[in-house]
Amino acid sequence: MSVQDLILGLHRFWAGQGCYLAQTYDLEVGAGTMTPDTFFRVLDRRDWRVGYVQPSRRPDDGRYGENPNRVQKHFQYQVILKPSPAGIQDIYVESLRSLGIALEDHDLRFDEDNWESPTIGAWGVGWQVLLDGLEITQFTYFQQCGGIDLAPVPVEITYGLERLEMFLEQKDDIYDLDWSADVSYRDLRLREEKEFSEYNFTAASVTMLRQAFNACQREAGRLAGKNLLLPAYDMCLKCSHNFNLLDSRGAISVTERVKMISQIRALVNDIARRYTGGKDGA
C-alpha cells in the first residue's frame, strides 16, 4: 500500500462516515487543526464532519534529509466530527481495519495525551494512539478553541500519514516509502527537505521575517476591526509560520517567545469571539 493508497483509503472511509472531503489549505500551517475547515467550523453550534490532507510545516524538525523519521514538512490526515459520536473509538478502530491492519496481531493503545496549541488558544483531552509503540494518531476531544468553550464538543482525529505508512510498509526510513507505485517519498521530498532545512536554520532572513511578522500582525488586527475574519485569520497563520521560522533560526529569546505567542493568541481569540457573535472581543 502506497501513501497515495492510504490517502484514498482514508478518504473513502471517512466519506462513508458522512465527512465532506476538503482540499488542502493553501497556506503554511503547523497542523491540520489550524486551517479554517477546523478552526472556524468547530466554533459554532452546527454539526460538522470533514476529512482532509494537510501538509504541516515544523521548521525546527528539519534534519537536512538525514534523519529517517524527522522532516520539516509532513502530511496529516485530519478528521473533525461534531458532535463527537458515541462510538467514535470503534469507528476509528474500524478505519484502521479498513486499511488492512489485522489488529489481532498488534498492540493498539490509547495513551493519555492532552493536546494543546497555545498559539490558537486551543486545547483538548484525549490520547495519542500507539500501534506497537508507534504513535500513529492524535485523538482529541476538543474542549476549547480561540479561547472559547466548544459546545457541542468536536472530536479531532489526526493521522500522521508518514508514520502510518512506515508501519504499513514495515520500513525504517521515511525516504524509502512509496508515494505511488513508481514515485518514492525520496523522489518527491528529499531535495525539499535539504533546501528547506538550510533555509529554516541558516538562510532565512531574520530581518525580513521580523518585518513580515509585524506587518501580518498589524494587518490581522486591522482586518479583524473590519470584521473580515477569514482574511484576518490568514494573517494570524502567516504570523505563526514566521514565528516558527524565527524560532528555528534561533532568533527568539525565551521571553520574546512567550510574548509573540501571546500576541498571536490575542488576535486569534479576538477573531473567534467576533465569529461567534461577541462584539469587539476586548
Partner 1 sequence: MEFLLELRTEELPASHIRAAVEQLEAGFRKELLGARIEVRALGTLATPRRLVVAGDFAEGQQDREEVVTGPPLSIAKGPDGALSPAGKGFARSQGVDESLLETVRTPKGEYLGFKRKAKGTPTADILAAAVPRVLGSLTFPKMMRWASSPFRFSRPIHGLLCVFGGRAVATSFEGFQAGDETVGHRIAAPGPVKAADLASYRSGLERAFVIIDPADRKKMILDQMEAALAPFQAKAYPDPELLDDLTLNVEHPLVVLGAFPETYLSLPLEVLSTAMREGQHLFSVVRDKKQLPYFLGVADAVGDGKGLIRRGNERVLKARLADARFFWDRDRKVPLGERADGLKNVLFQEKLGTYEDKTLRLKKTVGYLCDKLGVPEAKASAVEAASLCKADLLTEMVKEFSGLQGRMGGLYAREEGYPADVCQAVYEHYQPGSLEDASPASVPGAILSIADKMDSIVGAIGVGLQVSGSSDPFGLRRNAHGVCKVALDRKLRFSFPLLLDRVLAVYRDCLTVGRAEVKTACLDFFAGRLRFMLEKRGFRYDLVSAALGPGVDQIVDVLARVEALDALKSSPQFEPFILMAKRINNILKGLPAAKINADLFVEKEERELYSALQIIGSNAQPMIARGDFARAQGIIFKLQPMLNTFFDKVLVMAEDKKVRQNRLGLLQSIAKMLLGIADYSQIVVEGEKAAKPKGSR
Listed as own residue / partner, the contacts of 120-129 with beta carbons closer than 8 Å and 24 or more positions apart are 120/33, 120/34, 120/39, 120/145, 120/146, 120/236, 120/240, 120/264, 120/265, 120/268, 121/145, 121/146, 121/147, 121/148, 121/265, 121/268, 121/269, 121/272, 122/33, 122/146, 124/156, 126/155, 129/92
Closest distance between partner 1 and the C-beta of residue 155, in Å? 8
In this chain, which stretch among 25-33, 102-110, 218-226, 241-249 interacts with partner 1, using CB under 8 A?
102-110
The single residue among 68, 147, 221, 281 that binds partner 1, judged by CB under 8 A, is 68
C-beta separation of 164 from 136 below 8 A: yes
In whole angstroms, what separates CA 26 from the centre of its chain? 13
Spatial separation of the C-alpha atoms in residues 162 and 164, rounded to whole Å: 5
Q: How many residues sit in the footprint of partner 1 (CB under 8 A)?
A: 42
- Find out whether the peptide bond into 59 is cis, omega within 30 degrees of 0: no
Question: Of 69, 205, 214, 227, which lies in the binding site for partner 1, with binding defined by CB under 8 A?
Answer: 69
Cis amide prior to 152 (ω within 30 degrees) = yes
| 140: helix, strand or coil | strand
Binding to partner 1 by residue 151, rule CB under 8 A? yes
Query: Which of 21, 103, 203, 208 touches partner 1 (CB under 8 A)?
Result: 103
Query: Least CB distance from residue 69 to partner 1, whole Å?
Result: 5
Which of 8-16, 150-158, 234-242, 267-275 is the region at the interface with partner 1 (rule: CB under 8 A)? 150-158
In Å, how far are 21, 41, 108, 156, 162 from 37, measured between CA atoms?
A: 10, 6, 29, 12, 22
Q: CA nearest 175: which of 158, 190, 164?
A: 190
Contacting partner 1 within 154-173 (CB under 8 A):
155, 166-167, 170, 172
Least distance in Å: CB of 234 to partner 1? 30
User: Please, which residue, 26 or 112, has the CB nearer to partner 1?
Assistant: 112
Asked if 206 is part of the footprint of partner 1 (rule: CB under 8 A), the reply reads no
Q: Do residues 36 and 25 touch, judged by C-beta distance below 8 A?
A: yes
Site stretch for partner 1 (CB under 8 A), options 64-72, 180-188, 210-218, 270-278? 64-72
Rounded Cα–Cα distance for residues 192 and 184 (Å)? 14
Strand partners, 141: 125, 155
Compare residues 133 and 277 and give the one whose CB is closer to partner 1: 133
Candidate ranges 8-16, 72-80, 253-261, 265-273; the one touching partner 1 (CB under 8 A): 253-261
Query: What single-letter DSSP state applies at residue 203?
Result: I
CB of 187 to partner 1, least distance (A): 22
* 93 is a site residue for partner 1 (CB under 8 A): yes
Q: Does 182 contact partner 1 by CB under 8 A?
A: no
- Return the residues of window 107-126 that contact partner 1 according to CB under 8 A: 107-112, 114, 124-125
Asked if 131 interacts with partner 1 (CB under 8 A), we say: yes
**Contact predicate 148/129, CB 8 Å:** no
Q: Which residues bind partner 1 (CB under 8 A)?
A: 67-70, 83-86, 89, 93, 103-112, 114, 124-125, 127, 131-135, 141, 143, 151-153, 155, 166-167, 170, 172, 253-255
